[in-house]
Structure 1
Amino acid sequence: MTQQQSTALGRSIARFFQEYLPTLRGMSPHTIRSYRDTMVLFLRFAAAKRGGSIETLDVHDINADRLGDFLTSLEKERGNSIATRNARLAAMHSFARFLIAEHPEYMGTLQQIVGLPFKRGQRAAPVEYLEEPEIKSVLESINRGTTSGRRDYALFSLMFNTGARVQEILDLRVCDLRLVSPCQVHLHGKGNKIRLCPIWRRTAQLLQELIATYPPSDNPADQRIFLNDHGAPLTRFGVRYLLRKYVDMAVKEAPTLADKRIHPHSLRHSTAIHLLKAGVDIATISQWLGHSGLNVTMRYARADIDMKRQALEQVFPNVAPSASGKMIVGHDGGLLGWLSSL
């Protein structure tokens, strides 16, 4: 909707996306796009329920009952997860608070929207990540003899190297890279937060070779790093498609991949797990990944079965089944004696 929209709702939506979110709230373009997608879905739903067009909707059409029906339709008709449903609700909470300031005459109705609770879902599924042999197989499945293959190899090498979110990688421009020692990238994360991330010299070389293949431009420093075959910026859907293709190809060399649901965010999980295995402390990993807090990062400490196994062996080194199936006990007196010594 534009500012020329005739209804008060249309004008408020324009100010919400053009002024409030980017300027007053300082939200990242990625978050704003997510809010936009929510708004489009809701407006279509509300217009269909009202039996009119989106352009005729007004502030009085935004109410808790309609939003509740919308949230239900997301789960039942669109098959959205509880997490996605709650993310849509968070966007509408923010919009309702904005509307209260814009149209205080609707405060009572809009406060009911703000009061709609988030839905409690099932416990989060285990973190899905790639082991080192699987990472190697995925990278080796890429044909680096083609232009697109060299791009894909650089793309996934950088994602494994940095653990960055896929949109952070796709937003990278030449000016965000330092390809001489110390090699590093500027990543623009959530909330417009910028962080530095070191990269391997080999990754820097791959990026340098990729950039060298692009035709000259009027503003080379502003050139996006990862482009599709038509010269347009690569999209998240494009990355997901490419990763799926290479994972399917890598299954022959790494059969364990067949049992995993790998998506672009899995590469971020993989980086976090391997940093943890290498002994990097949680606080450093949290800053590396651009997490909002340590609690987000702690899930990786709970995810890795190898680290749990190593911890068990360190705590109970002499109380494990032997090859013969008999328990090895480090104290005289059998199991009872060992338990008594604790």
Structure 2
Amino acid sequence: MKRQRKVNQLGISIVNFFEDYLPNLRGMSPHTIYSYRDSIVILLRYMSSKYNRGVESLELADLKAGNIEQFLQHLETERRNSIATRNVRLSAIHTLARFLSGQHPEQVGNWQAIIAIPFKRGVRQIPTEYLDAENIKALLEAIEQHSNNVCRDYALFALLFNTGGRVQEILDLRLQDIRFTAPHQVRLHGKGSKIRNCPIWPSTAKLLEDLVTSLATDDVNTPVFMNQQGKPLTRFGVRYLLRKYAQIAGATTLATNKLPHPHSLRHSTAVHLLKAGVDYATISQWLGHASLTTTMRYARADLDLKRQALSLVFPEILAAQPPASHRLSEDNNLTTWLKRL
């Protein structure tokens, strides 16, 4: 008879961390818990490889501050993670260490050493990736011509462009969240369990209505976007579809000239709203940003906006010829000219 392996303290603590501490005591959203889960899974796999033992054989004593520091170095060197991603993983580990300090106070010195590991500074400013109007049109035309499920895919990407919603917000959409009559709108469930209503074009409402009709259901809790197996479409499914149609259309982002990722559709909506003259506060509410500072990043993203701003700053004065004494000529050599500036 095979003896059943006993669950150790690390396993018990991790289960309590995810099933009770994060959702109940900390009140974290499912999306944040999923992010923490991914971070802890990567950590456990690294520790398993380091000690050449199965994950189920790891102990609390293996979670040493030195091992955590080596893990963070592994993220940057082996996995090629950015500093921002490294800090996200460390944030999850800090939260776990704080939880363990209450569950196992006999090792509080180790948990404090882990909590004391600092976040890394020097996060590089990544250019905002977005699509211009021409690339958006090409992408939607590719869906019309090459999709096996035109009704779903066209409605999906039209809604992403229309609302600027996060991919998961759109995928969480239920039949009861759509208003098909004027004023047309959808109800999005955002970060931190925040709910916001977002207006949509009549054409987008018609696309959604056609899609809902094809679902042939009266259950208002039915997800709007389903895969071929009749299950809710996932973020990975959206990424696959976007990459597929972008390759067909030859659509690339302006900042990096790369294929767009799902979040670049959200950036596209924000930049086009800004170029249309919509104020920052409205865009912030539209996108569900927690801070206006987040919205301000889009002002740095578009070169046309910078050119427009430049043309408004003393255009007549700056267009005038410089004084004669400040002109460089044959009789006015470079050294003399520099001294007169």
* Interval of TM-score (by shorter of Structure 1 and Structure 2): 0.7 to 0.9
* Shift, 1:67, TM fit: 1.1
Aligned to 1:171: 172
Matches within 5 A, 1:293-332: 293-318=291-316, 328-329=319-320
What is the alpha-carbon distance in structure 2 between the residues aligned to residue 284 and residue 255 of structure 1?
25
Instruction: Specify every segment of 5 or more residues in structure 1 that has no aligned partner in the other structure, as ranges.
Output: 321-327, 338-342
Q: Is contact 1:144–1:150 with CA below 8 Å preserved after alignment?
A: no
Q: Percent identical across equivalent pairs?
A: 55
Aligned to 1:323: none
Deviation per residue, 1:76-128 (Å, 9 max, x gap): 22222222111111111111111112112111101111111112244212111
Q: Is contact 2:129–2:255 with CA below 8 Å preserved after alignment?
A: no
SS in 1 for 2:143: coil
SS in 2 for 1:195: strand
Aligned to 1:235: 234
The answer on 1:273 being equivalent to 2:271 is yes
Deviation per residue, 1:159-192 (Å, 9 max, x gap): 0011111111111111222222222222111222
Moved more, 52-61 or 259-268: 52-61
What is the alpha-carbon distance in structure 1 between the residues aligned to residue 147 and residue 128 of structure 2?
33
Aligned to 1:245: 244
Q: Is contact 1:148–1:229 with CA below 8 Å preserved after alignment?
A: no
* Shift, 1:335, TM fit: 8.8
Matches within 5 A, 1:168-207: 168-207=169-208
Moved more, 222-231 or 153-162: 222-231
SS in 2 for 1:315: coil
Q: Name which of 269, 281, 284 aligns with 1:283.
A: 281
Aligned to 1:158: 159
Aligned to 1:120: 121
* Shift, 1:307, TM fit: 0.8
Q: Is contact 2:284–2:291 with CA below 8 Å preserved after alignment?
A: yes
What is the alpha-carbon distance in structure 1 between the residues aligned to residue 116 and residue 27 of structure 2?
24
SS in 1 for 2:315: coil
SS in 1 for 2:144: coil
Deviation per residue, 1:121-159 (Å, 9 max, x gap): 442121111111221111111126866122111000000
Q: Which structure's CA Rg is the greater one?
A: 2
SS in 1 for 2:305: helix
Deviation per residue, 1:210-229 (Å, 9 max, x gap): 11111436xx1111111112
Instruction: Calculate the TM-score normalised by the size of structure 2.
Output: 0.87
Q: Is contact 1:282–1:294 with CA below 8 Å preserved after alignment?
A: yes
Q: Is contact 2:84–2:123 with CA below 8 Å preserved after alignment?
A: no
Aligned to 2:89: 88
SS in 1 for 2:198: strand
What is the alpha-carbon distance in structure 1 between the residues aligned to residue 224 and residue 109 of structure 2?
49
Distance 1:144 1:257, change over 3 A: farther
SS in 2 for 1:197: strand
Instruction: Calculate the TM-score normalised by the size of structure 1.
Output: 0.87
Instruction: Specify every segment of 5 or more residues in structure 2 that has no aligned partner in the other structure, as ranges.
Output: 328-341
Q: Is contact 1:226–1:234 with CA below 8 Å preserved after alignment?
A: yes
* Shift, 1:5, TM fit: 6.5
Distance 1:212 1:69, change over 3 A: same
Q: Is contact 2:253–2:260 with CA below 8 Å preserved after alignment?
A: no
Moved more, 106-115 or 48-57: 48-57
Distance 1:289 1:258, change over 3 A: closer
Deviation per residue, 1:44-92 (Å, 9 max, x gap): 2112223322222222221211111111112222222222111111111
Q: Is contact 1:134–1:257 with CA below 8 Å preserved after alignment?
A: no
Aligned to 1:264: 262
* Shift, 1:256, TM fit: 6.8
* Shift, 1:334, TM fit: 5.9
What is the alpha-carbon distance in structure 2 between the residues aligned to residue 335 and residue 272 of structure 1?
46
Count of aligned pairs between the two proteins: 323
Aligned to 2:16: 15
Q: Is contact 2:130–2:255 with CA below 8 Å preserved after alignment?
A: no
SS in 2 for 1:143: helix
Aligned to 2:213: 212
SS in 2 for 1:181: coil
Distance 1:155 1:248, change over 3 A: same
Q: Is contact 1:286–1:294 with CA below 8 Å preserved after alignment?
A: yes
Distance 1:132 1:141, change over 3 A: same
Distance 1:277 1:114, change over 3 A: same
What is the alpha-carbon distance in structure 1 between the residues aligned to residue 295 and residue 169 of structure 2?
18
